Amino acid sequence: MNLELSEEQDAVRQLAEDFVAREITPHVVEWDRAESVDKSIVKKLGALGFLGLTIPEEYGGSGGDHLAYCLVTEELGRGDSSVRGIVSVSLGLVAKTIASWGSEEQKRQWLPDLTAGEAVGCFGLTEPGTGSDAGNLTTRAVRDGGGTSRSSGAESGGDYVINGSKMFITNGTWADVVLLFARTNDTPGHRGVSAFLVPADAPGLTRRTVHGKLGLRGQATAELVLEDVRVPASTLMGPEGKGFSIAMSALAKGRMSVAAGCVGIAQAALDAAVRYAGEREQFGKSIAGYQLVQELISDISVDVDAARMLTWRVADLIDRGQDFATAASTAKLFASEAAVRAANNALQVFGGYGYIDEYPVGKLVRDARVMTLYEGTSQIQKLIIGRALTGVSAF
Ligand code: FAD
């Protein structure tokens, strides 16, 4: 693995750092207090190509490799995890999954707008009753009309009628398209699940904002309710019954993006702790000169480096076409817990000032905490790693 960034990778990282300084940092406190990022940020992200990384240019993408995607994600996470999450979901979980699994028609319909920031995507897997156990979801899509082609065996024509609900959906109230997972047959567990690209304005689809989140307060998180939502069969993505594999392959890559966002949080914690330690004096000298403060700072630094290396390894494996799923779980598990530790250590360096939101570290603590919960909790990552090592599923 080459740890030296290419000129292109370094240029895209610098572009992201400048963008954050100009368009995000001045608004972070205001967006957090208002519980909403300014939505105009989406088009600005699209204009710079940040919503099209790794997507082929013929569909409006900006190309680039997964390390470039990690670098941009890290810089966005360093600036504001709420903005970082918009990209991780709209590009990472939705556009990239359409690019891998969508039909030509679906790619042409959605990718140019998603990559330009003219449309936003959300990923509808979790339900009120099924989080970690997503394969047992109960939202149901029932076929109405159409049939099976004799020559290809593929389902064609007719509609699906969808009923059910989804919980904690990032970008939910902003989205133009929902990558929705629903049960299309009664086979228990994940085998009867299919993936659909449901337009968010489909009649019968309602969205409610989830208020009162501990962190990621600027992000539009929603509950989706589907009552007799009728969509054409052409919205089915991939074969019927393949939806759970599609969701899991999306999440495996998505975990790299969450891990990169966590590196950004930990780096922001380090930047803030070093700066503040140099400015603050107690007992007649800079607190940077106390060994116990240096211990806090060096612990953050070790977490940043280790989390970054694990995350870059995932990017390298993906770009070389190697298996990456276990490495992605390892990176996500370590980086998310490292981000929580790093933000907490930085808050300690700030003392009481860390506890009020005029200073940056309290928000880092709040934003970091969810990283150990979504896209598979830390316990679920350990079960994935454990299964890969022992060959035994302990789910
Ligand atoms: P549960 O699954 O009920 O877990 C509760 C506890 O039990 C956890 O500690 C868990 O680790 C533990 N546990 C469960 N099963 C096992 C087991 N077999 N062994 C050991 N321990 C176990 N979902 C989406 O689909 N799309 C999104 O865009 C999205 N965005 C989100 C944004 C936010 C801010 C949040 C909070 C969540 C989001 N989620 C999203 C949902 C998220 O992925 C789930 O919350 C997560 O998968 C955990 O599910 P749960 O909350 O139902 O917890």
Whether residue 377 has its Cβ less than 6 Å from ligand 1: yes
pLDDT in tens, 210-228: 999 999 999 999 999 999 9
The ipTM is 0.99
Q: 315: which 2 tokens?
A: 């990017």
Report how far ligand 1's centroid is from the alpha carbon of 131 (Å).
Answer: 4
Q: Determine how β-strand 281-282 pairs with β-strand 285-286.
A: antiparallel
Whether residue 170 has its Cβ less than 6 Å from ligand 1: yes
Q: 183: which 2 tokens?
A: 């049960």
Report how far ligand 1's centroid is from the alpha carbon of 370 (Å).
Answer: 10
What pLDDT was estimated at residue 322? 97
Is there a contact between 370 and 315 (Cβ–Cβ < 8 Å)?
Answer: no
Sequence-distant contacts of 376-380: CB under 8 A, at least 24 apart: 376/132, 376/251, 376/255, 376/329, 376/332, 377/132, 378/333, 378/336, 378/337, 379/132, 380/132
Average pLDDT over the chain, rounded to whole?
Answer: 96
**What's the pTM value of the predicted model, to 2 decimals?**
0.96
What pLDDT was estimated at residue 186? 81
Q: Which of 115, 165, 83, 94 lies closest to 363, judged by CA?
A: 83
Query: Is pLDDT of 18 > 90?
Result: yes
Is there a contact between 330 and 383 (Cβ–Cβ < 8 Å)?
Answer: no
Q: What is the mean pLDDT of residues 57-74?
A: 96
Task: Delimit the CATH 1.10.540.10 region(s) of the chain.
Answer: 7-116
Tell me, rounded to whole angstroms, the distance of Cα 310 from its chain centroid. 17
Task: Delimit the CATH 1.20.140.10 region(s) of the chain.
Answer: 245-390
What pLDDT was estimated at residue 364? 98
Q: What amino acid is encoded at 91 in this protein? A: L
Whether residue 181 has its Cβ less than 6 Å from ligand 1: no
Report how far ligand 1's centroid is from the alpha carbon of 121 (Å).
Answer: 20
- CATH number at 121-240: 2.40.110.10
Query: Is pLDDT of 296 > 60?
Result: yes
Q: Which residue, judged by its Cα, is nearest atom 52 of ligand 1?
A: 131
Query: Is pLDDT of 188 > 80?
Result: no
Write the DSSP string, 24-53.
IGGGHHHHHHHT---TTHHHHHHHTTTTSB
Is there a contact between 31 and 82 (Cβ–Cβ < 8 Å)?
Answer: yes
Q: Pick the catalytic residue: 74, 155, 240, 375?
A: 375
Residue 141 is classified by DSSP as E
Architecture of the structural domain at 7-116: Orthogonal Bundle (1.10)
Which spans in 193-324 are helix H?
243-279, 291-319
Where residue 157 falls among pLDDT bands split at 50, 70, 90? confident
Is there a contact between 196 and 125 (Cβ–Cβ < 8 Å)?
Answer: no
Pocket test for ligand 1, best of 132, 257, 258 (most atoms within 8 A of CB): 132
d(CA 16, CA 45): 9
User: Which is more confidently placed, 153 or 163?
Assistant: 163
Report how far ligand 1's centroid is from the alpha carbon of 307 (Å).
Answer: 22
Whether residue 185 has its Cβ less than 6 Å from ligand 1: no
Q: Which residue, judged by its Cα, is nearest atom 49 of ligand 1?
A: 131
What pLDDT was estimated at residue 156? 67
Active site residue 375: yes
Architecture of the structural domain at 245-390: Up-down Bundle (1.20)
Where residue 155 falls among pLDDT bands split at 50, 70, 90? low
pLDDT in tens, 248-259: 999 999 999 999
